[in-house]
Amino acid sequence: MTIIDGKLISEQIILELKEETAKIIQKRERAPGLVAILVGENPASKVYVNSKKKACDNIGFHSEVLKLSENISELELVEIVQKYNENELFDGILVQLPLPKHISEDKIIETISSEKDVDGFHPINVGKLSIGQDSLIPCTPYGILELLKRYKIQTVGKHVVVVGRSNIVGKPIANLMLQKNNNANSTVTIVHSATKNISHYTKQADILIAAIGKANFITAEMIKENATIIDVGINRIEDSNSPKGYKLVGDVDFNSVSEKAEFITPVPGGVGPMTIAMLMKNTYKAYLRNINK
C-alpha cells in the first residue's frame, strides 16, 4: 500500500511555479496577480483565504485579500468584481464561497470574467470542460488528476467511481476522467444520495473518489482489493484527546480501507494541499494567456 503524499506533491508544484515565475518576471515587468474576495466572518473561509495569500507570497505572485462586510449588497459585490475584471494587474479573481444568503452565488460567479475565473466555476469554463475544450479547471478535481499523473496510476479503461455529484468536485472530476487522453479515458460512474445500494458500485471501482462530506463513510467492505482511493472529504469529528476537541477525518475510513487499497490519499495531507497548488497553477495559466494576448 502506498500513501499518496499530496503535501509533498503540492510543494513540488509550488516550487516549479516559483522557478517559472522568477524567470518570467525577469523578462516581464509584472508578476501574476490574484485577488481573493472574502465576504463576512466565516472562520473556515478566513483560514482558506489566508493560505491562498500565503501561497501567492511564497511563489512571488502579486496578491490582494479584499475583506468585505457580511452586509454588503449583491449589487455592490457585482460592481467590485466588475472592477477587478477590468484591472490588468489581476489575472485571477476568487470569491470565497459560501456567500451570505442574500447574495446569489450563481450571479457572482457569472460576473467574474471567465478568463479570470481561476476556480473554474463560471458556466463558460464548466461548458468547455464538458466538451473537452481548453479551460480553467476547478482546483480540487485538477489536483486529483495531478496526483494520479504524478503517481503514474493508470486510468485508461479503468472504472472510476465518483461518490458525490457536487458542482465543485463530483461533476467536474467525472468529466475530467471521461476525457479522451492518456491521463483519463476511464469508464465513469457517479453515485449519490439517491443511489440504491452504493456499495454495489463502489466495489467495482479501480479508482474510487469519495466527495460526499460524510465522515468515514467508505469502509473496507465497500472497496475492491488493490483499488486506488482518493478521499476528498474534510470532516470535523469530536476527539477528546486533541486540545482543539476535534480532529479532521476524510470520507474514507482510513484505518480499514488502507489495508485493502493499493494507493490511498490521507486526510489531512492528501487532496487538500493540492487544491491551493492548482489554484496557483490556474492563476499562472491565466497570466500566461494575458501577457501573450
Q: Which region among 66-74, 94-102, 128-136, 186-194 touches ligand GUN (by CB under 6 A)?
A: 94-102
| Rounded-to-integer distance, Cα 96 and Cα 276, Å | 13
Nearer to ligand GUN, 46 or 159 (CB): 46
Annotated active-site residue 158? The verdict is no
If one asks whether residue 139 binds ligand GUN (CB under 6 A), the answer comes out as: yes
Nearer to ligand GUN, 153 or 279 (CB): 279
Task: Quickly list H helices, the chain.
Answer: 6-27, 43-59, 74-86, 105-111, 123-130, 139-150, 170-178, 198-202, 254-257, 271-291
Any residues with CB less than 8 A from the CB of 101 and at least 6 apart, and which?
none
CA 65 distance to own-chain centroid: 19
Site for ligand GUN in 200-259 (CB under 6 A): none
Q: Is 177 exposed, middle or buried (0-12, 13-18, 19+ CB in 10 A)?
A: buried
Please pick, from the candidates 91, 117, 119, 253, the single residue that binds ligand GUN as defined by CB under 6 A.
119
Q: How far is the CB of 140 from ligand GUN (least distance, A)?
A: 6
Nearer to ligand GUN, 96 or 202 (CB): 96
Annotated active-site residue 82? The verdict is no
- Round to the nearest angstrom and report the end-to-end CA distance of the chain: 46
If one asks whether residue 94 binds ligand GUN (CB under 6 A), the answer comes out as: yes
Annotated active-site residue 203? The verdict is no
Phi, psi (degrees; rounded to nearest 5) at 36: -110, 125
Q: How far is the CB of 185 from ligand GUN (least distance, A)?
A: 26
If one asks whether residue 97 binds ligand GUN (CB under 6 A), the answer comes out as: yes
Q: How far is the CB of 90 from ligand GUN (least distance, A)?
A: 15
If one asks whether residue 173 binds ligand GUN (CB under 6 A), the answer comes out as: no
What 3-state class would DSSP assign to 196?
A: coil
Q: Report the alpha-carbon angle 220-226-232, nearest 5.
A: 60
Q: How far is the CB of 91 from ligand GUN (least distance, A)?
A: 16
Cell of 73: 449588497
Cell of 130: 464538458
Whose CB is nearest to ligand GUN?
97
Helix (H) or strand (E) holding 249: strand 246-249
Q: Which of 52, 171, 260, 281 is catalytic?
A: 52
Nearer to ligand GUN, 141 or 266 (CB): 141
| Rounded-to-integer distance, Cα 144 and Cα 275, Å | 9
What 3-state class would DSSP assign to 118?
A: coil
Q: How far is the CB of 225 from ligand GUN (least distance, A)?
A: 33
If one asks whether residue 10 binds ligand GUN (CB under 6 A), the answer comes out as: no
Using CB under 6 A, count the residues that bind ligand GUN: 7
The binding site for ligand GUN (CB under 6 A) comprises 94-97, 119, 139, 168
Which sequence positions are flagged as catalytic? Answer: 52, 96, 119
